[in-house]
Amino acid sequence: MAQTTAPKVLIVIGAGGMGLPIARRLGIGRHVLLADYSTTTLNIALETLHNEGHTVSSRPVDISSYSTVTALAQEASSLGPIDAIVHTAGVAPADSTARQIFEIDLLGTANIIDAFLPVVSPGTSMVCIASMAGGMIPVPPNLEHHLATAQRDQLLKHKDIDAEAQGEGAGMAYAVAKRGNQLRVQAAAVAYGRKGARINSVSPGVISTGLAQAQLSGPGGDLVRGVIDMSAMRRIGTPEDIVNAVAFLVSRESDFITGVDLLVDGGAVAGRKWTATGV
């Protein structure tokens, strides 16, 4: 009797606003393993994909805990060869403290990059969702080096990382964390490359997800609308805009692309930079 080959595995971490459409697009012909902190979000996404005919399973995960991310990576590797890992999970300044942002957005991404390295193989592609916010503040070179290379247990221990910041400190924490995501991905590219795998990040602009809608309706809503108005495209992004970028980065067409950040912001950073200089 001929042996059946296990399907390739797609892991999507964060099953909400961006994660579900990414799983839907990329999951065809793959075993989709969904992971999320919220069991409610996880169950909704699981049922949706199952009803649409996908092969799908799920596992709760707390990305701020390295041991639970490691367990997720081990389960993923037991399902078959890992084709792609897409990390979309995170929190936003509108409803999070600086500490939560650093522990989830910054340390959580480092945990995922490190935990999956032992189980990737030739052809695996990881994509981490960062943010255009990572390119909107100046970061001192010594902090950039720390964000890129510090050991996990030392990552949040730096004089410029203030986990107790209050008020507008959450917004600064978010920008630093997302810059850290971009740098961490870049620094991990060689280690992933030694295993024949690739790793990149996507930095969205303002995308119409639940997190963005919370920001638009919160105290900083006028600032967010100002970013959209100043952008080249002058519109809010859609999850599909991000799905298209991720689909490219996990495809064979991007085989020579690794260690880069793809800015998908409708020209928001460009508009902010060059409008401010009077060009």
Q: In this predicted model, what pLDDT tens digit does every residue of 121-175 receive, in sequence order?
A: 999 999 999 999 998 888 999 999 999 999 999 999 999 999 998 877 898 999 9
In a domain, 54, yes or no: yes
Handedness of CA 224, 230, 233, 235 (dihedral sign): positive
As a whole number of angstroms, the longest Cα–Cα distance in the chain is 71
**d(Cα 34, Cα 160) in Å, to the nearest integer?**
34
Report residue 157: phi and psi, to 5°: -105, 85
Q: In one letter, which amino acid is 250?
A: V
192 catalytic? Reply is: no
What are the angstrom distances between the C-alpha of 211 and each of 152, 190, 246, 251? 27, 33, 19, 27
In a domain, 274, yes or no: no
Q: Is the pLDDT of residue 214 over 80?
A: no
Output the pLDDT for position 228: 81
Least confident of 151-160, 232-241, 252-261: 232-241
In a domain, 233, yes or no: no
**d(Cα 158, Cα 156) in Å, to the nearest integer?**
6
Q: In one letter, which amino acid is 113?
A: I
| Pair of tokens at residue 139 | 């970061």
In a domain, 186, yes or no: yes
**d(Cα 58, Cα 37) in Å, to the nearest integer?**
11
DSSP H stretches of helix in the chain: 19-26, 39-51, 66-79, 98-101, 107-116, 141-149, 169-194, 210-217, 221-230, 239-249, 268-276
| Pair of tokens at residue 142 | 């010594």
174 catalytic? Reply is: yes
Q: Provide mean pLDDT across the span 184-208.
A: 96
In a domain, 195, yes or no: yes
**d(Cα 17, Cα 211) in Å, to the nearest integer?**
8
Residue found by looking up tokens 């919220």 in the block: 38
Using only C-alpha atoms, the chain has a radius of gyration, in whole angstroms, of 18
CATH number at residue 95: 3.40.50.720
Q: Is the pLDDT of residue 219 over 70?
A: no
| Pair of tokens at residue 210 | 């639940």
In a domain, 64, yes or no: yes
Opening angle at CA 37, ends 133 and 189, nearest 5? 50
Output the pLDDT for position 279: 46
For 243, residues 6+ apart whose C-beta sits below 8 A from its C-beta are 18, 21, 22, 25
Q: What is the pLDDT of residues 29-59, one digit of tens each?
A: 999 999 999 999 999 999 999 999 999 999 9
- Out of 37, 66, 174, 192, pick the active-site residue: 174
- Out of 37, 66, 178, 192, pick the active-site residue: 178
Across the chain, how many H-helices and E-strands are there? 11, 7
- How many other CB atoms are found less than 10 A from the CB of residue 241? 19
Range of the domain at 36: 9-207+238-268
Task: Give the mean pLDDT of the chain.
Answer: 92
Domain tally, the chain:
1
In a domain, 221, yes or no: no
In a domain, 213, yes or no: no
Report yes or no: 102 and 158 within 8 Å, Cβ to Cβ.
no
